[in-house]
Chains A and B, each alone.
Chain A
Amino acid sequence: MRTLNLLAATAFATALSVSSAFALTVGFSQIGSESGWRAAETSVTKLEAQKRGIDLKFADAQQKQENQIKAVRSFIAQGVDAILIAPVVATGWDAVLKEAKEANIPVILLDRTVDAPQDLYLTAVTSDTVFEGKVAGEWLVKEVGDKPCNIVELQGTTGSSPAINRKKGFDEAIAGKANLKIVRSQTGDFTRTKGKEVMESFIKAEGGGKNICALYAHNDDMAVGAIQAIKEAGLKPGKDILVVSIDAVPDIFQAFIAGEANATVELTPNMAGPAFDALDAYLKDKKEPAKWIQTESKLYTPADDPQKVYDEKKGLGY
C-alpha cells in the first residue's frame, strides 16, 4: 500500500514538473485601476492566462511609469518567457525595452502603443478608436435608412485621442448621407453628470427635443446620463431619440433591457487573449506576428440578449 502511494506521488510529481516545464510564465505590468474598464481588463487577462495554463505574474503600477519600468526589470531578472505591458504613457520606454530584447524576452503592448522603434517589441494589441466610431455611425445609417435625421453628439474630453478618433470615424460613416446631419456637438467629458447637463441643453436648444432624432455619445457613461435627461424632458429614449454609444459597459445593457438605448460598440477588455495567441504562435512556430493586432469592435444591440451580457460583464469588475 505504502509503495503504491509513493509510486502515485512520484508519478504525480513527475507529471507536475513536466507540465511546468511547458507552462509559460508571463509578466503583466498593468497601469492601475483608474476605471471600471481597466479593472475588467485585469480580470480578463488573469482569466485568459488561467485558461491557457499560463503562470501570470501581475504588477499594478498605480499610474506611474517608474513603477512599470521597475516591474519590467524585475520580470527580466526573474527570467519570464514574455512580458505584457499596458503602457501608462507613450514615451520613455526605449531603454527598458532594449534590456528585454537583450534578454530575449518578447514584449507585447496592450491597449496603448509607445513611441519606440518597432523592433523593440513583438506586437501591440489595441482597439481602433476610429473604427469604433465608424461602426457606430454605420449602425445609425442603416437604422434610419432614407429618413431625415438630426444627430446630437456628446464628445469625450476635448483634445483626447479617443474623442478625436471616435468623432472622425463617425463622421466618415455618415459622410455623403444627406439625410443625416450633426446639428449639435459638445463635450460631455466622458462623465455621466456632464452628459446629462449637456443633453438637457441640447434638448432645449432643439425645440424641446422634437428636432433630435438620434444621440451619438463617445462613451456609454455619457449616454446613461443623457438618457436620464431625455426622460426628464418627457421624451422616450430609444424611441423618440435613438441612442448609440461606445464601450459596452454593463450599465448600458441595463438601458437595453429597459428599451432606452439602441446600440453600443464594444471596447473589449480582452486584449490579452489575442496577445497570448500571438505569443503562442511566435514561441512554438517562430511565427512573427504583425506589429499591430486590432481587437474586434463588436456591435451590441438589444437583440443580443442584454441580460446575459450584463451578467457576464458585471462579474468582470467593471
Chain B
Amino acid sequence: MAVPTIIRERTPQLIVLAVILALNAIISPGFFSIEIQNDRLYGSLIDVLNRGAPVTLLAIGMTLVIATKGIDLSVGAVMAIVGAVAASLITSGYSLPATLAGALFVGLACGIWNGALVALLDIQPIIATLILMVAGRGIAQLITEGVILTFNDKPELIFVGSGSFLSLPMPVIIWVVVAILAILVVRRSALGLLIEAIGVNRRASTLSGVNSRVILLAVYAVSGLCAATAGVIAAADIKGADANNAGLWLEMDAILAVVIGGTSLLGGRFSLVGSLMGAMIIQSLNTGILMAGFPPEFNLIIKAAIILIILIVQSPASQAAMANFRANRQTVAIKTESREHAAR
C-alpha cells in the first residue's frame, strides 16, 4: 500500500484528532459548518485553527528544544513580555514594522538568554528556563506598569490578531507559514539530524564534530522567537497586553502538544507535524468543551480524562500489545492461507 510515510507515522494522532472532532460534531451539531462572514471564513473549525495559534507556535519551538533533550518552561512568560513590549512600542508612536521588529528582537534575546544558560553554563534546561518563567511576568508588569496596556486605536497591530488574509484569520496564516518554514529548514538540511544527534548523546555528537553549543543556543533562540510571535498574536487579539494572564500555563499545553505528537521528552527523534497535530488535538478539545455547555467545574476533569486516554493509547506498553495483536492476526491469516493452499 502506498500510504505516505508522514501519514503512516502519525496514524495514532490522526485517529485521535478524528475521534475528538467526531465527538464534537455529535455533541454540538453544526461544529463542521463553515460560512463566510465579513469576508472571512467563520465557524467552530476555524476557531480551532485560530485559537490554537499560540500553542501551535509555542509547540514548534518546544519540539526543537525537547529534541535536544531540553525543555523551555519560559515560553508563557516570554509571551507576556513580548506582548507588553509590542503594546508599549505601538502606543508610544512607533510604526508597525518597528514594533514587530522590537517585539521579535526581545523574544529572540529571551531565547538566547535561555540558550546561553543551557549551552554555555551547562545549567539543566528545566532550571535554566524556570528562571525566566518566574521572572518574566514581573518584567512584563514592569513594562506595562501593572495595567492592561491597551491599543484600541492601532488597527495595524490589531490586524495581526484579528484581521484576515485570503479569508483566513491572520493567526492561522502566521502559524502555518512559521510551521512550513521550520519544517523546510530542519528537514531539507542536516539541521534536524544534528538536533536529534545532540538529543541522543550530546557528548558523542560534540566529539564527532557537531558544534553542539551553537545548535543548542539556536534552538532556544528559535523557541524564544516562536513565543514572541505567539505573544504578539495574543496581545493583538485582545487589543492590549495583559501581563498577568497572557500565555499563562501555555508552556504546559505546548509541552503536552509535543508529547501527544509523539516526540519523546528524552530527546532524539522529533516530529514537527506531530506537534502541530498535538496542538490541534488540544485546541479541538478546548473548543469542544466550550461548545458542549457542561458546567465549568467539569472542564479540566474532562480535558484530563481524555488526555489520559490518549497517552494510555500511545504508551509503549499498549503500542507493543497492539503490534503483538496485529502480528498474531497476520500469522493466523498466513496459516489459514497456507492451509487453503494445501487443501488444493
A193 close to B245 (CB less than 8 A)? yes
Q: Is B208 an interface residue (CB 8 A)?
A: no
A205 close to B291 (CB less than 8 A)? yes
Q: Is A36 an interface residue (CB 8 A)?
A: yes
B167-222 residues with Cβ-Cβ distance < 8 A to A are none
In the assembled complex, the CB of B294 is this many whole angstroms from the nearest CB of chain A, namely 8
Q: How far is the CA of A103 from the CA of B287 in the complex (A)?
A: 57
Q: Is A129 an interface residue (CB 8 A)?
A: no
Set of chain B residues within 8 Å of A318, measured between Cβ atoms: 147
Q: Is B4 an interface residue (CB 8 A)?
A: no
Q: CB within 8 A of A155: which of B30, B51, B162, B296? A: B296
Set of chain A residues within 8 Å of B42, measured between Cβ atoms: 233
For A191, A201, A232, A254, the residue with the greatest tally of chain B CB atoms inside 10 Å of its CB is A201
Q: Is A41 an interface residue (CB 8 A)?
A: no
Q: How far is the CA of A187 from the CA of B303 in the complex (A)?
A: 15
Q: How far is the CA of A232 from the CA of B222 in the complex (A)?
A: 32
Q: Is A266 an interface residue (CB 8 A)?
A: no
B37 close to A233 (CB less than 8 A)? yes
Q: Is A251 an interface residue (CB 8 A)?
A: yes
Q: Which residue of B lies closest to A36 (CB)?
A: B147
Given contacts A193-B242, A193-B246, A228-B162, contact A158 B147 (CB under 8 A): no
Q: Which residue of B lies closest to A188 (CB)?
A: B296
In the assembled complex, the CB of B117 is this many whole angstroms from the nearest CB of chain A, namely 26
Given contacts A186-B296, A192-B242, A196-B238, contact A234 B290 (CB under 8 A): no
Q: Which residue of A lies closest to B44 (CB)?
A: A204
Q: Is A35 an interface residue (CB 8 A)?
A: yes
In the assembled complex, the CB of A313 is this many whole angstroms from the nearest CB of chain B, namely 11
A32-70 residues with Cβ-Cβ distance < 8 A to B are 33-36, 39
Q: Is B314 an interface residue (CB 8 A)?
A: no
Q: How far is the CA of A185 from the CA of B37 in the complex (A)?
A: 25
B299 close to A205 (CB less than 8 A)? no
Q: Which residue of A lies closest to B144 (CB)?
A: A36
Q: How far is the CA of A191 from the CA of B249 in the complex (A)?
A: 13
Q: Which residue of A lies closest to B158 (CB)?
A: A228
Interface mask (B300-342 → A, CB under 8 Å = 1, otherwise 0)? 0000000000000000000000000000000000000000000
Q: How far is the CA of A309 from the CA of B202 in the complex (A)?
A: 61
Q: Which residue of A lies closest to B290 (CB)?
A: A201
Q: Which residue of A lies closest to B245 (CB)?
A: A191
Q: How far is the CA of A86 from the CA of B258 in the complex (A)?
A: 43
A205 close to B245 (CB less than 8 A)? no
In the assembled complex, the CB of B142 is this many whole angstroms from the nearest CB of chain A, namely 11
Set of chain A residues within 8 Å of B51, measured between Cβ atoms: 197, 200
B238 close to A228 (CB less than 8 A)? yes
B216-238 residues with Cβ-Cβ distance < 8 A to A are 234, 237-238
Q: Is B244 an interface residue (CB 8 A)?
A: yes
Set of chain A residues within 8 Å of B242, measured between Cβ atoms: 191-193, 221
B295 close to A185 (CB less than 8 A)? yes
B231-273 residues with Cβ-Cβ distance < 8 A to A are 234, 237-240, 242, 244-246
Q: Is B12 an interface residue (CB 8 A)?
A: no
Set of chain A residues within 8 Å of B237, measured between Cβ atoms: 193, 196
Given contacts A198-B290, A228-B238, contact A158 B148 (CB under 8 A): no
Q: How far is the CA of A262 from the CA of B86 in the complex (A)?
A: 31
Q: Is A225 an interface residue (CB 8 A)?
A: yes
Q: Is A189 an interface residue (CB 8 A)?
A: yes
Q: Is B74 an interface residue (CB 8 A)?
A: no
Set of chain B residues within 8 Å of A289, measured between Cβ atoms: none
In the assembled complex, the CB of B149 is this many whole angstroms from the nearest CB of chain A, namely 11
Q: Is B28 an interface residue (CB 8 A)?
A: yes
Q: Is B43 an interface residue (CB 8 A)?
A: yes
Set of chain A residues within 8 Å of B290, measured between Cβ atoms: 186, 197-198, 201
Q: CB within 8 A of A187: which of B44, B152, B244, B296? A: B296
In the assembled complex, the CB of B74 is this many whole angstroms from the nearest CB of chain A, namely 19
Set of chain B residues within 8 Å of A184, measured between Cβ atoms: 293
Q: Is B146 an interface residue (CB 8 A)?
A: yes
Q: Is A302 an interface residue (CB 8 A)?
A: no
Given contacts A192-B238, A251-B148, contact A204 B38 (CB under 8 A): no
A190-223 residues with Cβ-Cβ distance < 8 A to B are 191-193, 196-198, 200-201, 204-205, 221
Q: CB within 8 A of B293: which of A36, A191, A205, A224? A: A205
A228 close to B239 (CB less than 8 A)? yes
Given contacts A35-B244, A192-B242, contact A201 B148 (CB under 8 A): no
B296 close to A185 (CB less than 8 A)? yes
B287 close to A158 (CB less than 8 A)? no
A204 close to B43 (CB less than 8 A)? yes
B38 close to A192 (CB less than 8 A)? no
Q: Is A274 an interface residue (CB 8 A)?
A: no
For A192, A224, A254, A317, the residue with the greatest tally of chain B CB atoms inside 10 Å of its CB is A192
A192 close to B37 (CB less than 8 A)? no
A234 close to B299 (CB less than 8 A)? no
Q: How far is the CA of A318 from the CA of B245 in the complex (A)?
A: 16
B296 close to A192 (CB less than 8 A)? no
Closest 7 CB pairs of A and B: A201-B290, A187-B296, A192-B238, A191-B245, A158-B296, A36-B147, A201-B291
**Can you offer 23 A-B residue contacts whose CB atoms are under 8 A?**
A34-B244, A36-B147, A36-B148, A39-B146, A155-B296, A184-B293, A185-B295, A185-B296, A186-B293, A187-B296, A191-B242, A192-B238, A192-B240, A193-B245, A193-B246, A204-B43, A204-B44, A205-B28, A205-B291, A228-B162, A228-B238, A228-B239, A233-B37
